[in-house]
Every structure is written in structure tokens, then in C-alpha cells.
Structure 1
Amino acid sequence: METQMQPQPKTSIFQSSTAKMIMVGILTLVLLIPLTLVQDLITERSQRQKEVISETTSKWGNSVYFYGPILKIPYKDPTTGINNYAYFFPDNLNSKSEVTMVKPLERSIYKSNVFTTTMQFDGTYSHLDFSSKGIPAENIFWNRAKIMIRTTNLKSLKDEVKMKIGNQNLAFESVANSANDSIESLETNYFDYKLMENKAAFKFDISFNGSNQIKMVPVGKTTSASMTSNWNSPNFNGNFSPTSREINDKGFTANWKILHFNRPFAQHYFNVLPELSKYAFAVNFITPVDEYQQNERASKYGFLVIGLTFLIFFLIQSISKINIHIFQYSMIGIALIMFYSLLISITEHSSFSFAYAIAASSVIVLISLYAISILKDKKFPLFIGVSLTVLYTFIFVIIQLEDYALLVGSIGLFLILAAVMYFSRKIEWNK
């Protein structure tokens, strides 16, 4: 009697591991749409913060740009008969600045870092040479000489500016600028430079309310500058770096020494005073990585988090033969997207670290509980919870790192790839 073989039921192509993987891959790509929307929200909130900070600091004081003192002497050009000005920079210029970061200005949920600074200057002028232009002595109006200071922040001056030069005391007044000149000027009243000795010493103080940056042009033939502050995250930039600096938790101290042959401009000009801001040295009082930058960096790992989480579920599904519907994958993916929405909303009212811990814990607990109902077991959901905890911790560490972020990220991704290859080695992809 022949035994008839029972035909094996054919497995639908849509039930194969390959088809399921393709559908999960497509879902991962679809979830990039809401992830992009979240990233746009972060950008929008960051831009809103910049607008509010700009508006707030403009009332307190913007960046401080300082350029001077400049000796301004009128003369008559012997060839044209037109009256012009000659501008002379000091031989020696010494400055000492003390910058104090004050309590941040608050508006709604946004805070603006602002400072007050007192800048002390002294230096000397020596013999002024008009011979290079062939200007006779009778064409030089010494008794109408002025001292000029240029800045972009006149409205945030905290006190009157007065100078002692030689045996004279001079007071500065603001002067009108041309419409296309964004740099404002202070000038003293007239004084007779010829009444002084060939070498004239000067001394003055100036105080500002400001924000973001202090920037100075080294107009002295020899410029020596020092700056101290209680801000511990300075960014030294501009055309010259400090010759020495010391930074600790309490603040920083920096010193500059710039000689005239270190810079590409002259010690005197006739007729036109050029704009020399590109030759300035500067200190930015920055927040190294603000909350929105950290949120933005975290969101860039969104694709990695979604992909790896789906991969974990897919491997569990393939190994345990438990069927997970594409709808359930969708719910898990939406929960992962919600992490970034929670993160930015909590960060705006707290620190990034606290917000990250709350958002990550909430999503991990939610997905782990959901996995219990899907997988009908506590072993796999526990593995999923541990895996997500490790993944979010790994991303948090990368976000905090600066110099070693790429190295740590590359090593971490290599280890993740090795783990995936190990656990996927026995899966039968044809079924």
C-alpha cells in the first residue's frame, strides 16, 4: 500500500524574512518624514531663541568693538587748497580690561549672556611727521587737533569718557556719522598739541555694557593688552591670538603683545581713515554647546536609533518565530520619534541632561511594556530595554564629546555591527 505524501503548504512570499525586512526598511524610510519635521522644529526654536536674545541684548548692549585713540589734526593740502584731516595712531598703547559676566537677562524661556567691562588705556604719542606729504608747518592747524575713538556700541557706555593728555583734561562727545558708516565716533574738544612736549602721554578709562564679543584693533606701534573675566568658556579669535592665556573654572586671563610689523596697516593716514576691523583681535563669550545644538546633534542620530531598534525586533522575530505586524513596528517607530519631541520641550524648561534622561527613560519604558504584549514573554522585552538603554547612553556620550566624538562613534558602530552579524548568522533567510 503506497503512502501518499501530504503536500507542504506554500509560504506566501510576503511571509518570508526577506519580504518582512523590505517592509521594515520601507517603514524606516517613511519615518524619516516625521523625524525631519522634528528637526525643523528644533531649527525653528533655535532661530526664535537667537531672535529673542538679539532683541534682549540690543537693549543692554551689543558686541563691543573698540578702535583708538586716534589723533585727528586738520591741515590744508598745499596742492589743492582743500582742508583735510591727518590721522595718527599712538606709539605705545596699553590696555587692561576686566569683564564681568552678570546675571543672564531672561525673557520667557530664553536667557541672554551679558557682561559689563571696564577698559583702562594709557600710551604715548611722539613727534608727528607731515613731511611725507610735503605739508608746510603753516598749513597744519595744531590748535584744532582732536582725539577720536571709534566703536559700534555708544549707547551702552556706562559713564562719561574723559582723557588726560599731557597736562590737559579732555572730555569726549559723540559725533554724527555718515549714513553709510556703521561705526560711531567719540571726539574730544580742541586742544593745542604744540603746547605739549614732543612726547605726549595719555590716559583714559571707558566702560561698556555688552554681550557676545569684545573686539579691539591694535593701533599702537606697540600694543600690549590684557583681559580678565569670570567667564570660563572664551573663544579667542580675530587676527591675533593671545601671547599667553590661562583658563580655569573661575574664568580666564589673556595677554596680547602686537608690534606694528605684525599688522598690515600704517601708523598714520591722510584724508581717509580706513576701516581696520579685519585686523582686530577678539574674545567671544560663548556657550560652547547650547541646548538647541545638543538637540540638533541628538536628532541626527534618529535614523540610527530607529534602524537599530527595528533591527533588534526583527532579529527577535526571526529567532523566536513570533510574528510582529507592520502596524506594531509603526507604533514603535512613532514612540522613537516622540523621544525628540519630549527632549526639546523638556530642555526648554530644564537642562539638556535632565531632559535627555526623562525622555529616554519614558520611551524605553513605553517600548519595553509594549514589547511584553507583542512578544508574550519577559525575556525579550528585557533585552530590548537593556539594548535601548545602552543605545541612548552611547548617543548621549557622543553628544557630550567634542574632540573624540568621531572616534568613539566609529568604535561604537563597529561593535554594533559585530553584534548584529553574530546574532543574525543562524537566521534562515529563505523562509
Structure 2
Amino acid sequence: MTPDTRTPGAKLFLTLLVAVLLAVPLFAIYLLVWDRQTQSQTASASITQGWGGPQRLAGPLLAIPFQADSIETVTENGRAAQRSAAVARELVIAPDRLDATTAVAPERRRRSIYQAVVYTADTAGEVRFSLPADLARLGVPAARLQLDRAELRFGLSDPRGLAGAPPRVTVAGRPLALQPGHGAGRTGEGFFAPVDAAPLRTGALAVAFRFTFRGNASLALAPDAGDTRWRVTSAWPNPSFTGGFLPVRRAIGTRGFAAEWRVGNLALGQGLAAVQAPAAAAPAAAPGDDAHLAQIDLVTPVDIYAEVNRSVKYGFLFIGFTFATFLLWDVIGGVRVAVPEYLLVGVGLILFFVLLLALAEVIGFTAAYLLASAAIIGLLAAYAAAVLGGWRRGGVVAGLLAALYAVLYVLLSLEDFSLLIGAVLLFAALAGVMYVTRRLDWGVARTG
């Protein structure tokens, strides 16, 4: 064996150079995870195609047509003149109150190794409409309201989800005939029912409805009523409540969740009546916007691509700690470690992330993590025993890697404290290396 004439400083430089070169395959793995995640999203979209997208409910709203006077300026014989003309308008009324319940039945659908979460939702409710007392302030002549030509409009963002039994809408126990379109939403998606709203002249109009629809990923309600009460139950144990309004009550357990929203129009910052162009001329705009939603996301408990992506970001932590161990054996223990040996160890560490990704798509993240880490620990421990000249030293490397993989799993599980734990770990490692090498002369060659 030829004597090792490299100085400790030179060994440190070469080790750092190899570590930096390993950034290239690490970045390639990051791109691989992104590509597989994109394929997963494409596959999920294919699974849910034709089922129904993320659904948003709106309404019901009551639209009453009327004729309004419009003053327009025209030019006649070179002189400006004003002319009065009758134009078609609609008085759109939100209900005084809405009381609705939705039961969400989730389902996992698979295609090959990919899956998507879909659901079937059954919604039932009651609303009450009344004419606003200040019609004159809205510029609406009460005598011109065509109550017999009113429409009840229900918004559903993806009407393809209306598969199964047709929706049922009743007024005073009498079912109404439903038609597609004219929905209560920004795009006018949904369905409507012609209704005779003559009871509004003397009182309120009570409406009951029930319909079942399908969707995936999320469900939202755009509250419009003066007092909206929406109760949702589901067997899905991992909901995420988002949107501009959070539930006033909620209960989450292993068997599912129950939540209740209570939203008034004062919180929405809007009145219960508005005048607009007819739906045939322009889509009805939802009174609420994206910030005024009560939304539930059916969250997948473990997003394997997000977890693998986060673990790749800690790749240098593994490379740094393992290379530091080999370097200490090299400069202090007198065991020569060649540059190709550092490179092979680094490739083994990077292979862990490829194994983790490939296995997680098939058997889940936790099982994949245990299997991939056990395989890499066994491989590198055996290789370290050969390189460092003994199974005891190989056992040290195995113990170090086992500790690193355990810490990484904790970091992935405790996302909120991952930075703190990682910083403390790096500080402890740096302090240990500084202590062990405190008397080392980095510029003197060792020939032992």
C-alpha cells in the first residue's frame, strides 16, 4: 500500500468537492419527483373525468323579470334629444334564510398505482323568500313585476355531477319542472325552475329542495341568504376547512367529521336584492366571490410526492454526516478513504430517495421509508466495513445512518418544528467535529 501523502486540508477539499458534485443527481431526483407528481395529477384528472369536478353550490335565488324605463340621448336633425324606452330587467332576490344539510359520501378510486378522492353529496334544504320593502330605492316599479314568470335558480359549478335521481324542488308541496342553465353562479351553471311567485304580494314564498350530485377534492357553498345555516357530515376523517368563512361548530374523528356554518348577509357585506340584465342576455353573477365561501377540502392524509420532495431537501444532511464520519476515520483513524469510495457512498445515499419514491407509489410512504432505509443502511454498512477495515466501524456507520433516517422521519412528521430540529442537529454535529479535530494540523501531511 502506498503511503497517503494528502494533507487533511486536501482530503477535506476533495470530500467537499465530491459532495458538491452529488448536487447534480439530487436535483435530478427533485425533477423526477416533480415529473411523477405531474403524472399523478394527470391520472387523477383522468380518473375523475366524467364524475364531477370540485363543486361549488350557490343559491337558490329568485329572479323576477320586469320592464324598466331607460332614458337615452339621441341626435335628431343635428340636435340632442332624450328618449324614453322600456328595457328588460330582473330583480334577483336572495332568501331571507337558508337551512340546508349536506351528507358527503367519499370514495377512493384507483387506476394502476394512482388514486383520486371522489364523493357523492346529498343536499336538502328549505328557503324563504320575501319582497324587499324598498323596491322604490332599487328603481323597481312593484306594479311591473311579472311574478308569474319568476325563476328559481340553483348554482352548481359542474352540472355533470347531477347523475342519478333528478333534483326535486317543491313550493307548498307542489313539485316544479326543472330545466338546465340559468344557474345562480358566475358562469350561470346549474339549473332553474319556472315558478309563480304571486304569493310574494301578500307574504313569503317557501321553497324546499333536495338533490344529489357528484364531485371530487372539495365542496364549497357561496352563502347568499340573510341567514345561512349549512350543516355538513361525512365519513372522511381528514377535512380541511378553508374559504372566507370557517364553521362555527365542528367535530373531527376517525369516523368522519361534522361541521356547521352560520353566515349572515351583513358578514357578506351585501343586500338581499339586486337588479341585473336578464339571464338570457348575460350570465347571472353570484353575489359572493371566492373570499366569501364556506369550503371543505377532502385532504389525502399523506401526499407521498410532497413527503418525498421534502425528504430530498434533506439529502445534503445525509451526505454531510456520512462523509464527515468517513473523513474522521481518514484523517484521525488512519484509514485511507479514496475519492471513488466517497462517490460510491454518496450514490448509495442518493439511491435511497429513488427507492423511496418508487416504493411509496406502490406500498405507501411509511412502509416504503422503512424498506428503503433498511436496504441502504445494510448496503452502506457492509461497504463501510470493507472500506474502513472492520465490522465495528461498519456498525458505527450503520448506527449513524439509522439515527439520521429516524431524525428525518421525525422532521417529515413534525413539519412545524423541522427547521428548529434541523438547526439543532447541525449545530451539534458541527460542535462534535470541531471538538474531535481541535488539535488536528490541517496543513501537515500524514504518512501513517
Give the alignment's TM-score, normalised by structure 1.
0.92
Q: Secondary structure at the match of 2:137?
A: helix
Give the counterpart of 1:88 among 90, 93, 104. 93
Mapped pair 1:228 → 2:233: yes
Alignment-mate amino acid for residue 415 of structure 1 = A
- Equivalent positions of 1:166-245 (< 5 A) are 166=172, 168-175=174-181, 182-194=187-199, 197-245=202-250
Alignment-mate amino acid for residue 175 of structure 2 = N
Mapped pair 1:122 → 2:112: no
The answer on whether the counterparts of 1:166 and 1:196 sit within 8 Å (CA) in structure 2 is: no
Shift of 1:128: 3.9
Q: Distance in 1 between matches of 2:396 and 2:364?
A: 29
Give the counterpart of 1:303 among 316, 320, 324. 316
Alignment length, in residue pairs? Answer: 417
Aligned equivalent of 2:78: none
The answer on whether the counterparts of 1:145 and 1:193 sit within 8 Å (CA) in structure 2 is: no
Shift of 1:262: 0.7
Give the counterpart of 2:9 among 3, 8, 18. 18
Q: Secondary structure at the match of 1:223?
A: strand
Q: Distance in 2 between matches of 1:29 and 1:134?
A: 73
Shift of 1:182: 3.9
Aligned equivalent of 2:49: 58
Q: Distance in 2 between matches of 1:124 and 1:176?
A: 20
Shift of 1:315: 0.6
Between 122-131 and 213-222, the greater mean CA deviation after superposition: 122-131
Aligned equivalent of 1:3: none
Q: Deviations over 1:275-300 (max 9, x none)?
A: 32321111111114411111001100
Q: Deviations over 1:35-80 (max 9, x none)?
A: 1001100010011101111221132111111110000111001233
Give the counterpart of 1:357 among 354, 366, 370. 370
- Equivalent positions of 1:262-301 (< 5 A) are 262-272=267-277, 273-275=284-286, 276-278=288-290, 279-301=292-314
Q: Distance in 2 between matches of 1:404 and 1:231?
A: 27
Aligned equivalent of 2:152: 147
Aligned equivalent of 1:101: 106
Aligned equivalent of 1:161: 167
Between 272-281 and 20-29, the greater mean CA deviation after superposition: 272-281
Aligned equivalent of 1:6: none
The answer on whether the counterparts of 1:161 and 1:171 sit within 8 Å (CA) in structure 2 is: no
Shift of 1:192: 4.0
Q: Distance in 1 between matches of 2:352 and 2:4?
A: 37
Q: Distance in 1 between matches of 2:372 and 2:359?
A: 8
Q: Distance in 1 between matches of 2:188 and 2:304?
A: 33
Aligned equivalent of 2:27: 36
Q: Secondary structure at the match of 1:297?
A: helix
Shift of 1:428: 3.1
Shift of 1:183: 4.4
Shift of 1:169: 2.2
Q: Deviations over 1:65-107 (max 9, x none)?
A: 11100001110012330112111000010111111112x1111
Give the alignment's TM-score, normalised by structure 2.
0.89
Q: Distance in 1 between matches of 2:175 and 2:342?
A: 79
Shift of 1:252: 0.9
| Unmatched segments (≥5 aa) in structure 2 | 71-84, 278-283
Between 107-116 and 161-170, the greater mean CA deviation after superposition: 161-170
Root-mean-square deviation (CA, aligned residues, Å) is 2.0
Alignment-mate amino acid for residue 272 of structure 2 = Q
Aligned equivalent of 1:4: none
Q: Distance in 2 between matches of 1:151 and 1:197?
A: 31
Mapped pair 1:76 → 2:82: no
Shift of 1:201: 1.4
Alignment-mate amino acid for residue 160 of structure 2 = K
Q: Distance in 1 between matches of 2:305 and 2:117?
A: 16
Q: Secondary structure at the match of 1:373?
A: helix
Shift of 1:335: 0.8
The answer on whether the counterparts of 2:54 and 2:218 sit within 8 Å (CA) in structure 1 is: yes
Give the counterpart of 2:415 among 402, 407, 425. 402
